[in-house]
Structure 1
C-alpha cells in the first residue's frame, strides 16, 4: 500500500490513510485492484499527474 501511495501521490501515506485502506481490504469492501483505481481516480492523484494523463491522451 505504501509503495502504491508513494508512486501515485509522490508522498508517503499517513498512518490514518494506511489504516483506512487496510480496513477496507480486510473487510473485503475493496481489493488491491480497486485500491489502485481509487487512488488513481482521487482528486489528489489527478492534481499530481493529471496533466501527464491529459498530455498522453488518457483522459
Structure 2
C-alpha cells in the first residue's frame, strides 16, 4: 500500500495524509482490513474503477 501511495503526486499524498489523520482519531478501534474496505468504497463512490486503478498504477518504466 505504501508503494502505491508513494506513486501519487505530492498533492494527492498530502490529501491522503490529511484524510487519514482526520479519520484515524474517529476510528481508533477499526482494524486494517476495515480501513482498506472503507478506502475502496470511498474510491468507488468517487468513480474509481478497477480499470482506472490499473491504468494509474501501470509501470511506465
Q: Into which bin does the TM-score normalised by the smaller protein fall?
A: 0.3 to 0.5
Bigger proportion of residues as helix: 1
Higher RCO by CA contacts (8 Å cutoff, separation 6 or greater): 2
Per the normalisation by structure 2, the TM-score is 0.46
Per the normalisation by structure 1, the TM-score is 0.47
